[in-house]
Amino acid sequence: MMDTQKTKVLIVISNMEFGGAQRQIVELVNNTDKTQFEIHVCSLSNYAPLAEQFNAGISLHIIHKKAKFDFSVVFKLASLIRKHKFNIIHSYLFDAEMAARLAAKLSCTNIKVIGSERNANYTLKPIQKRAYKLTKHLVNAIIANSKSGADFNARQTGQPKSKYHVVYNGVNTNRFRPQNKKNIRAELGIEENCNLIGMFASFKQQKNHPFLISALNTLKQQGANFKLLLVGDVLHGGMHGSDTYTSAVKQQIEDSSFSNDVVYLGNRDDIEHIYPACDFTVLPSLFEGTPNVVLESMACGVPVIATDVSDNARIISHLSSGYIVETNNVQELSEKILYLLGNTATLETFSKNARQAMVNKFSSVKLAENMTKIYKMVKQK
């Protein structure tokens, strides 16, 4: 007899602030088949602005972590598991990963545990690496958003590669779509005919703003005309040294030759209306998983120049929908930016190809379909 009972999934994350993992949770829960799955989200912080974007019917639970090592979170999470009889717990980000693994064990239920990997080639702290290895037997599967992320996580944590599944991020191609550039620039107070370069990223070291600033400084000194649009802000509470990093980046801009050509927009909840203002965007990251901003920009028909990290080259077709450049190669990045600033025909071609790739391969619907296939498989094991 066919099992018609819904699969109950609890997604646990450190917070629901303006971050990449958080935006993917929004896309996932909003596009999951509600006739087959009952999705709940639990944030370990009461700062959860992106939860406002959940569709009706998505249950949000807050278990506020009051300190770095607040073990009461584990007991509360275990209680939540027992109360709602979840089949699967799927965690995002380190503290949520640890809490979910321990809570699943403590709940004394048959709940299946799924971990996540959102980046690649970063440095794990010794205590994090040890925690992952000590709890690796508590995990049934790990979903990475890039092949390089899956390989990296397996090396770091000692998990067998058989536990890993790759599900690329997805973008809402109805929300993120080409729009009238002239109108958006008018709303932002930006000149209609200026060359506008966008960078959409939180202010944290991973995003490597100084690389882009150095390249643009070189171009400005050579006489190039442009404006830089920065969308994103310091992480909530200055986490992970974000406040110090932000100050350093802004000082570098202040000392540059284009300090008067920078527009700061901070965090925005209407970024689908901001991307189309740009001629192209740049993501100079040191490491990534599958960057949401690349998918979102391309879905809006805005080409991207990105560093050759993680699976960026699998998303951006070099010389077809954008450019892939070597990390911290200022000359190469400068050359690619300068070329796009002066070649509208290339921009138009890249724009069409970028949009089509997102519609065909990286939509939110595709994300939810691929993710729920893994949920079903893990539940049956």
The domain made up of 7-170+363-380 has a fold known as Rossmann fold (3.40.50)
Q: Judge whether residue 19 has pLDDT over 90.
A: no
Specify the pLDDT at position 377: 97
1-15, 192-206, 287-301, 364-378: the lowest-pLDDT one = 1-15
Q: What angle do helix axes 242-254 and 209-221 make, rounded to 10 degrees?
A: 0
CA distance 228 to 197: 5
Residues of the chain with CATH 3.40.50.2000: 7-170+363-380, 181-361
Specify the pLDDT at position 1: 35
Report if pTM > 0.75: yes
CA distance 317 to 315: 6
Average pLDDT, the chain: 95
Q: Judge whether residue 41 has pLDDT over 80.
A: yes
Would you say 188 and 263 are in contact if contact means Cβ atoms under 8 Å apart? yes
Specify the pLDDT at position 344: 96
181-361: CATH number? 3.40.50.2000
Which 8-state DSSP code applies to residue 6? P
> What band does 4 get if pLDDT is binned at 50, 70 and 90?
low
Locate 366 and state its tokens: 């595709």
Q: What does the pLDDT look like over 167-208, one tens digit per residue?
A: 999 999 999 999 999 999 999 999 999 999 999 999 999 999
